Amino acid sequence: MIIEGNLSLKGDEKVAVINGRFNHIVTDRLVEGAKDSFERHGGNSANLDLILVPGAFEIPMALKKVLATKKYDGVVCVGAVIRGATPHFDYVSAEATKGIASVSLENNIPVTYGLLTTDTIEQAIERSGSKVGNKGFEAMTGLIEMMNLFQNIEK
C-alpha cells in the first residue's frame, strides 16, 4: 500500500506562516505566494495566521512557541537570508535552518521550510515570484501534502 498526501484542503485547516521581516521586500512576496497556494488548494484565508518576527534567526523560537499552542494543523516558515560582506550570513542561515529542523522534529505537526539563502538580492527576487518561482508557494504546497499525509498515516 502506498500512503501519500494529496493537495486538497477541506477549508477548516488552521495554518500559520512565520515570516522573518528582514529583507521584507522579498519575504512579503514569499508570504503572498504561501497565501496563494493555501487559497488555490481550498484553504480558507480566515484560517491562515501570519506571525512576524524580526529576522530568520528568530523563526525557530517563534516556531517552538506556535507549535506549543497546538492551535495549528501546520506551519510554514519563510524568510530571506542574503549574503553580505561578512560571515553573518553563515551564522544566521545555519542557525535558522538547524533550529527549524530541530523544532519541527520535536512535534507531530508538519512544518515546511520556505527560507531563501542566496548570494545576491537578485537571486532572492528570482525565487520570490519571478523567474525561478516562489519559495513561499512551494513551501505551502509541501505543507498541504504533509498535512494530508499525516492524516492518511493515522487512518
What lies within 8 Å, CB to CB, of 67 at 6+ separation is 75, 103, 104, 106, 107, 109, 111
In degrees and rounded to multiples of 5, residue 66 shows phi and psi of -65, -45
Contact with ligand INI (CB under 6 A): which of 17, 18, 80, 140? 80
**Residue 20 makes contact with ligand INI by CB under 6 A:** yes
To ligand INI, the closest distance from the beta carbon of 70 in angstroms equals: 26
Task: Show the cell assigned to 46.
Answer: 480566515
Quickly list H helices, the chain. 24-40, 59-68, 88-105, 121-126, 135-154
Which residue, 36 or 55, has its beta carbon nearer to ligand INI? 55
**Residue 148 makes contact with ligand INI by CB under 6 A:** no
- Annotated catalytic residue: which of 7, 65, 68, 88? 88
88 has catalytic annotation? yes
Provide the Cα torsion 136, 139, 144, 147; round to 10°. Answer: -130
Interacting positions 23-52 with ligand INI (CB under 6 A): 23
Task: List the catalytic residues.
Answer: 88
Site residues for ligand INI per CB under 6 A: 20, 22-23, 54-58, 79-82, 84, 88-89, 92
